[in-house]
Amino acid sequence: MKKSIALLSVLVVGAFSVDAQDANKYGATPEIQEKCKQNISLYREFRDQKNVADAFEPWKKACKLCPKAAKTLYIDGVNFYEYKIKNAKDATEKEALIDSMLAVYDARIKHFGQEGYVLGLKGIDMYKYRSDEPLKAYKVFKKSVELQEAKSQPGVLDLYYRSMFEAFKKEEVAREDLLTEYLSITEYLDKGKAGAKEKYHTYYDKAKDNINEYFILVAQCDDINALAAKKFQEAPNDLDNVKKLAKIMTKRECTESETFVKVAKKLNELEPSHESSYALGVALLKKSKYSEALSSLNKAIELAPAGLADLENYYVAAASAAIGTGAYSTANNLARKALGINGNNGKAYIIIGDAIAASAPSCGSNEFEKAAVYWLAVDYYSKAKSVDSSISGVANSKISAYSGRFPDKTMMFQYGQIDNAGNVKKDPVQIGCWINQSVTPRL
């Protein structure tokens, strides 16, 4: 029934105007023009019925008879092939259909131009259907972007960089290309967003976030610092720019440069928040500016929302800064708050051990009580490596250093910690001052 309805539609071909342009659009002769219009009417009738199976053959005939008839020939053709690819019987058929679909894009460019834009669409399908050949998609995207520049669609720019990254992993693209192209692509996204309607801005932002994730994976700190210095100099008061720079540098742990300090300070100035305060605090901590760092990190803790996943890291960083200022009791309290969130935070135990060890000269009324403090410090270092094997090297180094400061046998005998039989007494030794803990004596 649908076929008979479609066949009746050929009667409407007279609605196509026959003028001087027909020879160019619909064919060189009246006979070809008539067949062209018949097949266009047929395939569109079936298309509108969502009957791809019956639309496909007249569509192919129309493309062959009159390839310049309408741009929609090629838009519809891609849709038809997507349907057929989805329903392919086997891999061989699917691959042949993919080849044919990609050829539709080439035909569209040949007859209707828009090369840069259409290559972007072709690249998307190449990346989708030929993900194991990222270099081929990358080359198509590259040509598209070279032609379109800031007119490129955000999704095209996103997949351009992603395909470049995938080709890099297969050693088909150099790391330097990813670093160089990052600048151009992000500039195109910025320009494109500026010229787009506000409702489309989220697409540009999402593309940029995705590209940043890949950039972070390949860029070294020297690369990121150089890029950040350039971007910061260009727009030091652009909040969005400064936030993104701080995010990239923090995530890649490139926080030791003067550029990061400048970025973090500016971010904290433009938009005070727990993130910006933390970024600034970390930057100052790296520069051994402990008092400033502690102030900024305390601000981060104050501004942090309840349940923040990174809060334990805020406490650990603040505790490290407190150690640097000599506020050992404060460092201990901050580290314990981190342990209250995560009892397996090895860094927090290291900091507590450091605070205790640093307090040894002032905790105790005699040489034995001061030396006994190191027993307790080493206990915390041992605890640190037991909960976090990644810091075993640091913990073992500190254990080795401070074990040499334990009370020796002579000192312990002198202060009554060894009995006449030469045995160490089991009674715990109380550590005074802010520490206020007991420790088991040992040799």
Q: Where do the domains of the chain lie?
A: 1-108, 114-218, 305-407
Give the C-alpha separation, 318 to 193, whole Å: 39
pLDDT value for 9: 36
Is the pLDDT score of 427 beyond 70?
yes
d(CA 99, CA 332): 66
Structure tokens at 234: 């260009």
- As a whole number of angstroms, the distance between CA 241 and CA 238 comes to 5
Report residue 175's pLDDT band, with 50, 70 and 90 as the boundaries.
confident
Q: H or E segment at 438? A: strand 437-439
Per-range mean pLDDT, top range of 100-114, 225-239, 240-254, 320-334: 320-334
Residue-wise pLDDT tens digits, 2-15: 443 333 333 333 33
What would the mean pLDDT of 100-117 be, rounded to a whole number?
92
Give the pLDDT confidence score for residue 336 in this predicted structure: 98
C-beta neighbour count of 322 within 10 angstroms? 26
Model pTM score:
0.56
Task: Give tens-digit pLDDT for 360-416.
Answer: 999 988 999 999 999 999 999 999 999 999 999 999 999 999 999 999 999 999 999
Amino acid at 364: G
CATH architecture of the domain 305-407 equals Alpha Horseshoe (1.25)
Give the pLDDT band (50/70/90) at residue 23: low
Over residues 17-36, mean pLDDT = 72
Residue 17: the pLDDT is 42
Per DSSP, 220 falls in state -
Residue 299 and residue 280 in contact, taking contact as beta carbons nearer than 8 Å? no
pLDDT of residue 21: 55
Phi-psi region of 408 (alpha: psi -120 to 50; beta: other; left: phi over 0): beta
Per-residue pLDDT band for 239 (boundaries 50, 70, 90) equals: confident
Can you tell me the distance from the alpha carbon of 302 to that of 349, in angstroms, rounded to the nearest whole number? 23
**222-232 CB burial, b ≥16 within 10 A, e <16:** ebbbebbbebb
